[in-house]
Amino acid sequence: MKKITFALIFALTINSIHVKADEGMWLVQLIGEKTYADMVKRGLKLSKEQLYSMNKSSIKDAIVIFGGGCTAEVVSKEGLLFTNHHCGYSNIASSSTVDHNYLRDGFWAKTKKEEIVCPGLSVQFLSKIEDVSDSVLARLKDVKPNEITSKLPGILTAMSAKASEGTGNEVRIASFFKGNQFLQFTYVRYKDVRLVGAPPESIGKFGGDTDNWEWPRHTGDFSIFRVYMAADGKPSTDYKAENVPYAPKHFLPVSIKGVNDGDYAMIYGYPGGTNRYETSYGIKLKVDIDNPSLVNLRDVRLKAMHTEMIKDPAIKIQLASSYAGIANYWKFFDGESKQLVKHNVVALKEKEEAAFEAWAKGKSEYDNLFPNVKSAYDAWRPYAKGRMYLNEGILGSPLLGFCASLKMMEDAGAFEKNPTSVKTAYDNFFKGENVTSDKNILALVLKMYHDDVDANQQPEAFFNTLKANYGDLSKDETYQKFANDVFANCMFFNAAKWESFIAKPDTALLHKDPAFATALAFSSNFKSKYNKYYTDFIATTYALNNKYLKGVLEMKKGQALYPDANFTMRLSYGNVKSYNPRDAVHYKEVCTLSGVMEKYKPGDYEFDAPAKLIELINNKDYGQYIDKKTNDVVVSFITTNDITGGNSGSPVLNAKGELIGLAFDGNYEALSHKIAFDGELNRTICLDVRYLLFVVDKLGGAKNIIDELVLSK
């Protein structure tokens, strides 16, 4: 009996090694011999120098930070960029009007002249990485442990400013292994980036939020841009007609040979954040309080927005991008909690913590580490909900969120020193503001706050006055009447009132404004009474985590360790790979256009598809983009790579460094991935580049784009 069990376990282990997804977001410049050897064993055909080189051109030179939080890649000698549709979404939306609705209908520039300027959009190329740990740690030597979190940002900003002085480059220092290592990154920013192509939303966001974070997936999640430089080759400032297409050091060739289960795949990009060393205490706070609060509040806000968006295409264009951002992480955090519970990640972490404690025994530096972590969480936990309800609820009303930002500008002296910045902030707010949905949001979140937050922690005077003037606090209509009055009487929707205020800002008047006063009632309540617990909590846990990671690095010396994601360039490698999400179910590694037809619902908000696409499918007009194995067009495929938000738009490369896809999502079964990587279930969802080309060519008729690429057939 025993023997059989042992043999069985052995067999299972072998099998699970075989299908293991590939944990690790490696710093490209620090890939060690062991990791590189593993990559080669798995199929990589490139030298380390081709992956990353400081002096010669290498793949890393084709990878950029796109906008504020995505990745894009250069795919032609004229600075053509591929990224996700959801990364270009806000630019596509703000280029759209009801008459030229590129969000709905798509857009294809057939010549460079037709490309659309995108004010505010920029891309950044990484030019240099240096280890500055010694200098940072030296500056922190005399800082008290509980003051590090307040002083560190200033220290890093000063060091970065000094390093970039007079160079025209941007320097940012990032913290690794929870403050045990610091690396300095130099970037060159290009601010003239233009829209070249985008599919209709019914391709680029096919499946909407229902399919978001899920496999199988039939979304054509791509958009195309071009980066320009000044005629002398210098990074351009803003748009200038005389700017010329950027000439890259390296661009990616595109393979249309297709993918097979088991193929090598690697992904370069900018994963935004993971917390793989989160403690069991942190996970409990997340699952019990933080995530459910955020999800409940966003649920209500999203419904209020959606109600207006489906009524009017102009409102849809106006709110689409903000809606998508809120919805994306609403579904993420809901799924994250579910998977954390399902995979019992708390127990997993408790085991790791016990192992650490066993190793740390007798080492006085690590005494009492986890009991202290527990005390820190116990002290903060009673106030956590109030903070979430303030940030995701009250300030989730765009109007009140704007008022809170006005308060910050007031505190920073912006009304006197820089009134134009206030005016610009107002103009941006006004452009994105839909009064009807916001009014409903305000009424709903106020009631939720009143119902759900500990009564002792609420701004008492505010609710007393509300009750006195508007009635029963248990009734929805009380809040609705109040919200109506706030919107009717505040200065922000009354042009005469606002103009006269901004012409000569009188902050006393601002403080009497009903919208501003409401925002302030809640934010001051938190700031004056509870923020101290929060800053204590952050400072204490920073110091403890810093020590924990210092210990982990010592304990695991000699092992290949990767640091948590922090929006610095990483490389992940793995394979194209099918999986079994649950008992009796097998998911194939590719999705095809037949699946689009299966999901297609004419006129549906999420599952409609362009008539032209349906026609192409019916005629099987697939050209050179057909997949011979399936006799269909492969829309997307999955790999075992380790990525997260920020990687969106990242190139998926084959063993030779050719582009085979664009990473655009993670799968639902592994949504706990920021905290614990699941070796069996984790998959990255990638758009097949052949589907991208098919849409550009056959649907968009933009042969000019295809001709610009170097295709490997």
Write out the residues near ligand ARG by the rule CB under 6 A: 86, 205, 208-209, 212-213, 324, 327-328, 645, 648, 664-665
Least distance between ligand ARG and beta carbon 472 (Å)? 38
With the C-alpha atoms ordered 430, 432, 434, 439, is the resulting torsion angle positive or negative?
Answer: negative
Backbone angles phi, psi at 513, to 5 degrees: -65, 135
Q: Give the nearer residue to ligand ARG in terms of CB position, either 85 or 447.
A: 85
Q: Both tokens of residue 686?
A: 């990638």
Q: How far is the CB of 219 from ligand ARG (least distance, A)?
A: 7
Task: Check 61, 221, 334, 438 and give the catalytic one.
Answer: 221
Nearest to ligand ARG of 518, 639 (CB atom): 639
What is the rounded CA–CA span in Å between residue 88 and residue 414? 31
Q: How far is the CB of 153 from ligand ARG (least distance, A)?
A: 26
Q: Nearer to ligand ARG by C-beta: 206 or 377? A: 206
Cβ atoms of residues 526 and 1 within 8 Å: no
- Bridge partners of residue 637, in order along the sequence: 590, 686
Sign of CA dihedral 25, 28, 34, 38: positive
- Catalytic site residue from 53, 58, 61, 86: 86
Instruction: Select 186 or 648, whichever has its Cβ closest to ligand ARG.
Output: 648
For the bound state, the minimum distance from the C-beta of residue 583 to ligand ARG, rounded and expressed in Å, comes to 26
CA angle 207, 212, 217 (to 5 degrees): 60
Query: Which amino acid appears at position 671 of this protein?
Result: L
* Residue 449 in tokens: 């706050």
Residue 333, C-beta contacts closer than 8 angstroms, at least 6 positions apart: 291, 294, 295
Distance in Å, CB of 119 to ligand ARG, minimum: 23
> In the complex, what is the shortest distance from the CB of residue 606 to ligand ARG, in angstroms, rounded to a whole number?
8
**Cβ atoms 93, 267 nearer than 8 A:** no
Contact by Cβ (8 Å): 538, 405: no
Q: Which of 222, 257, 254 is nearest to 707 (CA)?
A: 254
Give the Cα separation of 187 and 128 in Å (integer): 7
Q: Please, are residues 446 and 482 in contact by the beta-carbon 8 Å criterion?
A: yes
Are 587 and 581 spatial neighbours (Cβ–Cβ below 8 Å)? Answer: yes
Q: Report the Cα 386 to chain-centroid distance in Å.
A: 25
- Inter-helix orientation angle 435-452/398-411, to 10°: 80
Per DSSP, the residues of 224-250 read EEEEEE-TTSSBP-S--TT-EE---S-
Closest distance to ligand ARG from the beta carbon of 267 (Å) = 13
Look up 127 and say whether it is catalytic. Answer: no
Closest approach of ligand ARG to the CB of residue 206, in Å: 9
Q: At which residue do the structure tokens 């680029």 appear?
A: 204
Give the integer Cα–Cα distance in Å for 638 and 483.
47
Residue 255: strand pairing partners: 712
222 and 83 Cβ atoms separated by less than 8 Å: yes
Q: What is the closest distance, in whole angstroms, from the C-beta atom of residue 331 to ligand ARG in the complex?
A: 8
Residue (205 or 226) nearer to ligand ARG, CB: 205
* CB closer to ligand ARG out of 51 and 327: 327
User: Of the two residues 213 and 573, which places its CB atom closer to ligand ARG in the complex?
Assistant: 213
Nearest distance, CB of residue 212 and ligand ARG, angstroms: 4
The SS3 of residue 577 is coil
- Residue 6, classified by CB atoms within 10 Å of its CB into exposed (0-12), middle (13-18) or buried (19+), is exposed
CB of residue 208 to ligand ARG, shortest distance in Å: 5
Catalytic annotation present for 451: no
Q: Which is nearer to ligand ARG, 180 or 636 (CB)?
A: 636
Give the SS3 label for residue 10: helix
Among 236, 648, 650, 672, the one annotated catalytic: 648
Nearer to ligand ARG, 632 or 642 (CB): 642
Of 336 and 665, the one with the shorter C-beta distance to ligand ARG is 665
* Closer of 202 and 648 to ligand ARG (Cβ): 648
Give the H/E segment covering residue 189: strand 181-190
Q: What is each CA distance from 650 to 221, 295, 415, 591, 687, in whole angstroms?
A: 12, 28, 41, 19, 10
- Asked if 548 contacts 356 with a C-beta cutoff of 8 angstroms, the reply is yes
Cβ 284 to ligand ARG, closest distance in Å?
25
- Find out whether 35 and 26 touch, Cβ atoms under 8 Å: yes
The secondary structure of 60-121 as a DSSP string is GGGEEEETTTEEEEE-STT-EEEE-HHHHHHHHHHT--SSS-HHHH-EE-SSGGGPEE-TT-
Our CB check for ligand ARG shows the closer of 248 and 666 to be: 666
Q: How many Å from the N-terminal Cα to the C-terminal Cα in the chain?
A: 55
Q: Is 221 a residue of the active site?
A: yes
d(CA 283, CA 296) in angstroms, rounded, equals 18
CB of 269 to ligand ARG, least distance (A): 11
**Separation between Cα atoms, residue 181 and residue 179, nearest integer Å:** 6
Closest CA to 115 of 28, 226, 233, 200: 226
Helix axes 514-529, 476-489, angle to 10 degrees: 120
Report the run of H or E that residue 197 belongs to, with start and end: strand 192-198
Q: Active-site residue numbers?
A: 86, 221, 648
